[in-house]
Structures are given as structure tokens and as C-alpha cells.
Amino acid sequence: MRRRRYNRAAIIRLGNLAIMAVERTLSIIKPDATRRNLTGKINARFEDRGIRIVAQKRVRLSRAQAEDFYAVHRERPFFADLVKFMISGPVVIQVLEGDNAVALNREIMGATNPANAAPGTIRKDFAVSIEANSVHGSDSAETARNEIAFFFAGSEICP
């Protein structure tokens, strides 16, 4: 059986018709949200917008995993606190799939700081602070590919 690969962002143009290709993105429900038992409510936000959760696992991140995952922020003043927060409780790590999933998920999540997040977004409705902001979402198709591979083997993803 030929396996379909959906990870690449692509817009297929047929004449004037632009068809948005199916993408995958990595999502993490952060410890502030798992602590308040919000996994189901957050998942409903994804599913209500047509996104499919094609892989999901609830784990405690190790310090090394959290440091590696957020390595891009290593020099930022909030890095140590961010790592401490990310290992303070369970997280739910997910692969989301759908049309334009990277950008759509960022829209559903809302701005990093809940004070700036639009009404109806996850962060506006559930986040506690700029750090404890309930969810992570990949910020580009390339980041998504790397972040998905960081946490999941191909065989763990079930479209």
C-alpha cells in the first residue's frame, strides 16, 4: 500500500481554484491545562474546526526533553522558568492534521500572551499567564516536521 505523506505545506492551484493541502502540526497541551482537567475541552476546539487528532500521548517530559524542545529559546530570560513549568506536570502531545493545520492551529490557540489573545481562542479562554498559556503549536511547516519527529515515530501516527 502506498503511504500518503501530508507534512508539507502546499497550495495546489488548478486554474483559479486554490486547493489547500492537508498538513500536520505538533500540539502540546501544557501542564497548567492538564492540571485543570481541560484536555477534552481543548480537543473539542480542534475537532470543532475540522482538525483531526491523529496521534496523542500523555507524558511527563524529562528536563532534557523540555530543554531540547525549547532549545531555540535557550538564551531568553524566561528559559529556565519555561523548562521548570513544562516539567511541572503531565503534558498531552498531539499530532493535528487538517487543511492548513499549522496556521489554523495558531489561530485556534490565540496570541502567546492571553492578554492579547482574540476572543474565542484557547489562550483567551483558558490560559493563566504568558508562560502558563495552556497550549503549544508549531509555528511553521518545517518546525512542525521537526517537532513531530522529536516526539513520534511514524508508526504512532494513525490518520
Residue (84 or 154) nearer to ligand ATP, CB: 84
137 binds, among Mg ion, ligand ATP, none (CB under 5 to 8 A by kind): ligand ATP
C-alpha cell at 84: 521548570
Q: Is 136 a catalytic residue?
A: yes
Site for ligand ATP in 54-93 (CB under 6 A): 73, 78, 82
CA distance 20 to 123: 26
CA distance 102 to 89: 25
CA distance 20 to 13: 9
Q: Within 10 Å of residue 17's Cβ, how many Cβ atoms? A: 7
Shortest distance, position 12 Cβ to Mg ion, whole Å: 28
User: Of 24, 30, 45, 136, which one is the catalytic site residue?
Assistant: 136
CA distance 54 to 158: 5
Shortest distance, position 2 Cβ to ligand ATP, whole Å: 33
Residue (55 or 108) nearer to ligand ATP, CB: 108
Which residue is listed with cell 503511504?
3
Residue 101 binds ligand ATP (CB under 6 A): no
Query: Which position among 88, 89, 128, 131 is part of the footprint of ligand ATP (CB under 6 A)?
Result: 131
Binding site for Mg ion (CB under 5 A): 139
